[in-house]
Amino acid sequence: MPRRNADTREEIREVALDLFAQKGFEQTSLREIAERLDITKAALYYHFPSKDELLVQLVAPLATDLAAFTAVLEERRPDGERAILEDYFDLCERHRRVFQGLLRDTSALARTGSLLQVLHNRDRIDRLLVGSDDPAERARAVVALGGLQDCAVLMADAAPAAYRRAAVDAALRALLPA
């Protein structure tokens, strides 16, 4: 029998993103997604050819958005760094769930408790650095530390010594109120 809601495909995307964000891609089975929608696994395969393709479609909006952002930045020198940063911030917010759930799959660490331990420490460091629990104050620390942390991942091609000074300087500027 046909189901209550017309747009099953969109419902699947919604549930899948929710579960992936919550438990990670690998640890979410198609059975779980199907159960939550009260359909069968086989029905999923009518709408999506594979689990991987489902993932691809979930990340696609972010990928598209990011590509557009890059394109704009490339074709003309835009209206100032502030505007760029604001736009990038908005982009991250817009795809917050994707960032949270798909760009870092922390499920395994969460299961073992390691993740909580790390995040707890990080959170305390953030608050201590700025001496406040206020989100606006904390953000300075998150930017500074998050930025440094990102270097470890994204600058894998360069020797740490080559950018260490610059990175620390930048983080310091971010941390200190203007």
Partner DNA sequence: GTCTATAGGATGATAGAC
Partner DNA sequence: GTCTATCATCCTATAGAC
| Residue number, 38 or 81, with CB nearest to its own copies | 81
Angle between helix 8-23 and 30-37 (nearest 10): 130
Task: Show contacts with DNA in window 6-25 (CB under 7 A).
Answer: 8
Pick the binder of DNA from 13, 15, 36, 43 (CB under 7 A).
43
Separation CA 50–CA 54 (nearest Å)? 7
Does residue 144 contact residue 175 with C-beta atoms inside 8 Å?
A: yes
34: tokens are 């199907």
Pick the binder of DNA from 14, 18, 36, 51 (CB under 7 A).
51
| Residue number, 40 or 114, with CB nearest to its own copies | 114
Is residue 57 a contact point for DNA (CB under 7 A)? no
Does residue 100 contact residue 20 with C-beta atoms inside 8 Å?
A: no
**Which parts of this chain interact with DNA (CB under 7 A)?**
1-3, 8, 28-32, 34, 38-43, 45-47, 49-52
